[in-house]
Each structure stands twice: as structure tokens, then as C-alpha cells.
């Protein structure tokens, strides 16, 4: 790994990804003020040499240090990095299993947008759907894992929603012990 990180640009990229796991290339481009061609070259170089792992969702590639995070966690982090999915996940973590209507009221998104996001979350195995009378109820498959990842990512995600979640989660956790 020392050989791969012998260039300053690669060390800078690797250190940034270590602090911001699951970040995608465009964000790195903005934050590091690095030309896309140069950044892409170094990312590909480090992926080919197993210094970085990449997780794709069909639209973007998300980068992780290769020595951290299992594939399941990388997929969850990739979704948590996207604000729309993160809002749904935080809502369910804070409110518990939620109906489609409850989610739509809280998140203020169209039915089609919410439906699309919920289907993607379900296809990734993050959200489980059950029927309660005529209504679909959405809950997280592994809320503790998701909560732990959100808290671990807190320094590199939007502060407001994560801080709110973290404070509430801490209070709830104190009551369980």
C-alpha cells in the first residue's frame, strides 16, 4: 500500500476517502479542487490495486478504503450519502415502522418519488415492507446497524439531520440499558 500511496495526490485522495467513506467522485472533485481526469485516473489506479473499494448504484460510484466496511455496510453507506434516502431512513429510525402516508406527509415528496425511493431501499434489503390492513408499512431490516453507521458517518454527513438523530438515539439508548 505504501507504494500505491507514494504520490501526494493519491495520499490526499486516500486520506479524504478515509474521512468521508462512501463519497462519490463529483463530491471529491469539488472538495479537493482536483480535475476530473486526474482524480479518475488515481481512483482507478487505487481500485485496481485493492487500496480502495468501489460500490455503484447504477448512477454513481462510491469509494471506500479497502480495509474497512463489509459489502453490506458499503451499500448502506452509499444510500445514506444520498439525502433523499437518508431522510427516509432517519424518519423510520426516529418514528419506527411507518406507513407510506406518514412518510409522504413528513418528507413532503410526491407519491411517485417516495415510491421509487422505497422500492430501491427494499431492493437493497434495507427496508422491509409489510401489509397492515390495506396499508403498506415500512421498517428497517437492521435498525441498529443503520444507526451505528449513521453515527459513525456523522462527521462527514450533513450535520443538522444527523445531529438530531444522534441526540434522540442517545436518549433512547439510555432508556434500554
Closest CA to 85 of 55, 54, 53, 124: 124
Question: What are the cell numbers at 85?
Answer: 434516502
What are the two backbone dihedrals, phi and then psi, of residue 34, each rounded to the nearest 5 degrees? -115, 135
pLDDT digits (tens, 9 = 90+) for 107-153: 899 999 999 999 999 988 899 999 888 899 999 999 889 988 888 88
pLDDT at res. 6: 87
Do 4-68 and 69-177 show the same overall fold?
Answer: yes
Domain boundaries, the chain: 4-68, 69-177
Residue 149: which residues within 8 A CB-CB, separation 6 or more? 73, 76, 77, 80
Question: What are the cell numbers at 150?
Answer: 449513521
Residue 26: which residues within 8 A CB-CB, separation 6 or more? 60
CATH domain 69-177 topology: Arc Repressor Mutant, subunit A (1.10.10)
pLDDT digits (tens, 9 = 90+) for 52-102: 999 887 788 999 999 988 888 888 888 888 888 999 999 999 899 999 999
CA distance 19 to 90: 22
Beta-strand pair 52-56/23-24: unpaired
The strand pairing partners of 130, in sequence order, are 137
For domain 4-68, give the CATH number: 1.10.10.10
pTM of the model: 0.74
Which residue carries 425511493 as its cell? 117
The strand pairing partners of 53, in sequence order, are 64
Amino acid at each position: 500500500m505504501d507504494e500505491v500511496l507514494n504520490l501526494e495526490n493519491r495520499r490526499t485522495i486516500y486520506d479524504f476517502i478515509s474521512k468521508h467513506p462512501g463519497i462519490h467522485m463529483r463530491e471529491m472533485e469539488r472538495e479537493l479542487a482536483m480535475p476530473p481526469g486526474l482524480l479518475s485516473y488515481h481512483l482507478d489506479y487505487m481500485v485496481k490495486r485493492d487500496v480502495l473499494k468501489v460500490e455503484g448504484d447504477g448512477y454513481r460510484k462510491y469509494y471506500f478504503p479497502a480495509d474497512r466496511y463489509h459489502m453490506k455496510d458499503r451499500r448502506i453507506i452509499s444510500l445514506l450519502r444520498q439525502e433523499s434516502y437518508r431522510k427516509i431512513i432517519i424518519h423510520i429510525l426516529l418514528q419506527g415502522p411507518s406507513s407510506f402516508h406518514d412518510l409522504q406527509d413528513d418528507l413532503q415528496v410526491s407519491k411517485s418519488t417516495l415510491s421509487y425511493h422505497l422500492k430501491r431501499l427494499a431492493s437493497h434489503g434495507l427496508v422491509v415492507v409489510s401489509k397492515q390492513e390495506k396499508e403498506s408499512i415500512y421498517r428497517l431490516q437492521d435498525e441498529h446497524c443503520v444507526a451505528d453507521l449513521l453515527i459513525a458517518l456523522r462527521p462527514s454527513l450533513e450535520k443538522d439531520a444527523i445531529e438530531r438523530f444522534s441526540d434522540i438515539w442517545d436518549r433512547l439508548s439510555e432508556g434500554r440499558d
